[in-house]
């Protein structure tokens, strides 16, 4: 059993429930349109599971129509608390199952157009599978070279997104599911014990409740560094390769402040204890701190922030270790630093530099 | 502004909803699995050829579900020499939600409400307990009707999860 509840249920069920909740909400709206009712019926006819989930939810809410089952609440206080929470002002980034439905709300959309969109969506859904479709519909945040963004998510968590990064957020009732598709981000997680905050990268699942951590993901590996609180990291491919309990011990880690975990695909994870996390978070101040960092890695870091490239011509110097603090937006500072090394030759042509050994 | 027509429709849907709830809670023989019922309803929905003629799909769904439950009940009556009264008592503990008595149900509802954000809680309360329209809820809470839908979706999903897992 996975500790993460979301993994124990198939995505189709989760999605069917979400959609059932959505449709009951739409249909109970007195301003529900004819087109929406038809779309509901199309959804219903798409699967027996849809019928099942909708009937179950209807039965539950039907029973909830009996007033005596409800706690006595002061309606004025409920309303005041809701207003004070400011929830309604959030331009929510949450997952909505109904791209089709929101479009139909615009009166200008004609039926044939809506039907065509529905057909395309159904086709896409059939080809890609429902969970894939759900993923496509989630909002995506992308930063270009040199661009950094601070994003406040629907739940109040803040994401600092480094340059050349891509992130998706799906908010579900029981899980805040984030995908870091590439790049690097710091997550300052809003505490909500009922709704774990999960960051998924190619190789790992990182689960937190209220804490702060940095994640750097590339195709080959993921580096997680805890800045505050605790997080749990699962090495996904290991867990998927074998469900044996012995493997689980290897693939699941509890990290505390200052702990860093380096997870590469199909390899045992490496756990480090950092003296301080300044180096990890320095990118938020657009500083790059190198400590015995190979020149090739330092150059790759600079490439994230600036389109001015430093090229290494000689493989022998790619492994040379670099130490120093640099302005991330100023690759010239690294070029100058390298010029000071008499064993190296640094040529500048137009916007780029080429480094070779003398 | 909700038109008289849409209010009538909402009324009708509520009526059917309540009807179905009663049906499934009290009249479903113990051995009818809600999932089997849903499958049978699904098969019947697939047989509908001209969907555009169905103006009230939700009400239609409930009617089909009620019919299926009724048919199965009739079949059960004929198959076994049970009186209606016996059957009613058999049925009382039939479906998952009705396995909870009112006190347990109340406690669970209380728990579910605690897990909601204040806005979702207020929307769910005003909708289900106070039976308000979406426009009325939007007015009371100072949010858009679109947000009411969204909050209600979240609330329904949370209720569904809560009542299953406990």
Q: Does A16 touch chain B (CB under 8 A)?
A: no
Read off the tokens for A174. 């029981």
Determine the angle formed by the axes of helices B57-79 and A34-44, rounding to 10 degrees: 40
Note whether A238 contacts B: Cβ–Cβ < 8 A: no
The pLDDT of B74-92, averaged and rounded, is 53
Q: Is pLDDT at A238 greater than 80 in this prediction?
A: no
Q: What is the pLDDT of residues A13-71, one digit of tens each?
A: 888 899 999 999 999 898 888 888 888 888 888 778 888 889 889 888 888 888 888 98
Question: So what's the pLDDT on residue A147?
Answer: 78
Residue A246: the pLDDT is: 45
**pLDDT one-digit tens code per residue, B125-159:** 999 998 899 999 999 999 999 999 999 999 999 99
* pLDDT value of residue A20: 93
Cβ within 8 Å of A, B 86-105: 95, 97, 102, 105
Given A41, A56, A174, which is nearest B51 (Cβ)? A41
Structure confidence at residue B21 (pLDDT): 52
User: Which range has the top average pLDDT, A120-124, A245-249, B152-156?
Assistant: B152-156
Question: In three state form, how does the secondary structure of A254-292 look?
Answer: EECCCEEEEEECCCCCEEEECCCCHHHHHHHHCEEEEEE
pLDDT of A286 reads 79
Site from B36, B58, B62 to mutate, A interface, most A CB atoms within 10 angstroms = B58
Summary mean pLDDT of chain A: 78
User: Which residue intervals of A157-308 are DSSP H helices?
Assistant: 236-241, 245-251, 278-281, 295-305
Q: Are A294 and A321 in contact (CB under 8 A)?
A: yes
Judge whether residue B89 has pLDDT over 50: no
B contact test, residue of A18, A19, A56, A102 with most B CBs within 10 A: A56
pLDDT digits (tens, 9 = 90+) for A264-286: 877 778 888 887 888 888 888 77
- Pick the closest to residue A265 from A206, A226, A222 (CA basis): A222
Integer distance in angstroms from the first to the last C-alpha of chain A? 59
- Residue, of A248 and A222, whose pLDDT is higher: A222
Work out the minimum CA distance from A19 to partner chain B, whole angstroms: 9
Look at residue B85 in the predicted model and tell me its pLDDT: 52
Q: pLDDT tens, A323-350? A: 888 888 788 888 888 888 888 888 888 7
Is the pTM higher than 0.95? The answer reads no
- Return the pLDDT at B7: 54
CA distance B8 to B30: 35
Contacts of A341 (CB under 8 A, 6+ apart): none
pLDDT tens for B99-133 read: 567 788 888 899 999 999 999 999 999 999 988 99
Q: Does A340 touch chain B (CB under 8 A)?
A: no
Residue closest to A162 by CA, chosen among A211, A214, A119: A214
Pick A82's closest partner by Cβ from B56, B118, B160. Answer: B118
pLDDT above 90 as % of chain B: 29
Q: How many CB atoms sit inside 10 A of residue A188's CB?
A: 18
Burial of A238: CB neighbours in 10 Å, binned 0-12, 13-18, 19+: buried
Half-sphere exposure of residue A53: CA atoms within 13 angstroms, side-chain side:
26
Closest residue in B to A174 (Cα) is B158
Long-range contacts of A192-200 (CB under 8 A, 24+ apart): A192/A155, A194/B115, A195/A155, A196/A4, A197/A155, A197/A157, A198/A4, A198/A6, A200/A236
Measured in degrees and rounded to the nearest 5, phi and psi for residue B25 equal: -75, -45
CA A186, chain centre distance (Å)? 11
User: Which domains, and CATH codes, for chain A?
Assistant: 9-137 (no CATH), 152-278 (2.60.120.1440), 286-357 (3.55.50.30)
- Whether residue A275 lies within 8 A of chain B, CB to CB, comes out as no
Q: Which residues of chain A are within 8 Å of residue B160 when distances are taken between CB atoms?
A: 17, 20-21, 56-57, 60
Instruction: Give the residue from A42, A22, A47 showing the smallest Cα distance to A32.
Output: A22
Find chain A residues with C-beta within 8 A of B60's C-beta: 41
Tens of pLDDT, residue by residue over A135-166, are 556 777 888 777 788 888 888 888 988 888 88
- A226 has a pLDDT exceeding 80: yes
Sorted by where each begins, the domain ranges of chain B are 1-94, 100-166
Least Cα separation, residue A285 to chain B (angstroms): 34
- Residue A249: pLDDT above 50? no
According to DSSP, residue A141 is labeled: E
Was domain B100-166 assigned CATH 2.170.190.11?
Answer: no
Highest mean predicted confidence (pLDDT) among A351-355, B20-24, B99-103: A351-355
Q: Give me the mean pLDDT over the A236-250 stretch.
A: 50
Which of A55, A79, A94 is nearest residue B141 as measured by Cβ atoms? A79
Least confident residue range of A78-92, A239-253, B109-123, B149-163: A239-253
What average pLDDT score do residues A199-225 get?
A: 86
């Amino acid at each position: 059993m996975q500790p993460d509840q979301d993994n124990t249920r198939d995505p189709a069920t989760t999605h069917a429930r979400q959609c059932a909740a959505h449709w009951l909400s739409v249909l109970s709206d007195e301003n529900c349109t004819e087109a929406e009712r038809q779309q509901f019926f199309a959804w219903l006819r798409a699967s027996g599971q849809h019928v099942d989930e909708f009937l179950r939810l209807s039965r539950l809410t039907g029973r909830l129509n009996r007033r005596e089952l409800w706690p006595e609440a002061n309606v004025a206080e409920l309303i005041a608390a809701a207003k004070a929470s400011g929830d309604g002002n959030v331009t929510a980034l949450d997952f909505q199952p109904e791209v089709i439905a929101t479009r139909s709300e615009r009166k200008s959309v004609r039926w044939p157009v809506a039907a065509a969109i529905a057909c395309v969506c159904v086709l896409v859904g059939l080809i890609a599978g429902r969970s894939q479709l759900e993923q496509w519909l989630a909002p995506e945040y992308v930063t270009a070279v040199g661009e950094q963004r601070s994003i406040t998510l629907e739940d109040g968590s803040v994401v600092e997104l480094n340059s050349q990064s891509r992130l998706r957020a799906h908010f579900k009732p029981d899980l805040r599911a984030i995908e870091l598709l590439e790049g690097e981000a710091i997550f300052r997680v809003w505490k909500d014990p009922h709704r774990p905050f999960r960051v998924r990268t190619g190789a790992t699942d990182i689960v937190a409740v209220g804490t702060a951590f940095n994640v750097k993901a590339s195709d080959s590996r993921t580096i997680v560094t805890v800045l505050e609180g605790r997080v749990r990291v699962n090495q996904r491919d290991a867990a998927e390769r074998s469900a044996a309990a012995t493997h689980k011990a290897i693939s699941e880690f509890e990290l505390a402040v200052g702990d860093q975990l380096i997870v590469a695909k199909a390899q045992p994870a490496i756990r480090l204890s950092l003296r301080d996390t300044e180096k990890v978070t320095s990118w938020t101040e657009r500083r790059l701190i190198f400590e015995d960092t190979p020149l090739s890695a330092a150059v790759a870091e600079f490439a994230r922030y600036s389109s001015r490239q430093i090229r290494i011509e000689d493989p022998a110097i790619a492994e040379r270790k670099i130490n120093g603090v640099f302005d991330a937006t100023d690759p010239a500072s690294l070029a100058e630093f390298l010029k000071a090394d008499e064993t190296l030759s640094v040529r500048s042509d137009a916007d780029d530099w080429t480094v070779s050994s003398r | 502004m909700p038109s008289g027509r849409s209010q009538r429709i909402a009324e009708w849907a509520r009526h059917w909803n309540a009807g179905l709830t009663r049906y499934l809670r009290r009249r479903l023989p113990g051995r009818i699995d809600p999932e089997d019922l849903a499958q049978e309803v699904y098969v019947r929905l697939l047989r509908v050829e001209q969907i555009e003629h169905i103006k009230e799909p939700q009400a239609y769904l409930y009617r089909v579900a009620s019919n299926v439950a009724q048919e199965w009940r009739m079949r059960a009556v004929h198959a076994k020499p049970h009186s209606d009264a016996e059957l009613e008592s058999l049925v009382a503990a039939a479906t998952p939600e009705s396995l909870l008595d009112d006190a347990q149900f109340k406690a669970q509802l209380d728990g579910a409400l605690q897990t909601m954000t204040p806005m979702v809680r207020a929307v769910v309360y005003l909708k289900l307990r106070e039976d308000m329209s979406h426009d009325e809820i939007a007015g009371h809470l100072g949010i858009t009707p679109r947000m009411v839908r969204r909050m209600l979706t979240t609330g329904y999903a949370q209720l569904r999860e809560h009542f299953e897992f406990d």
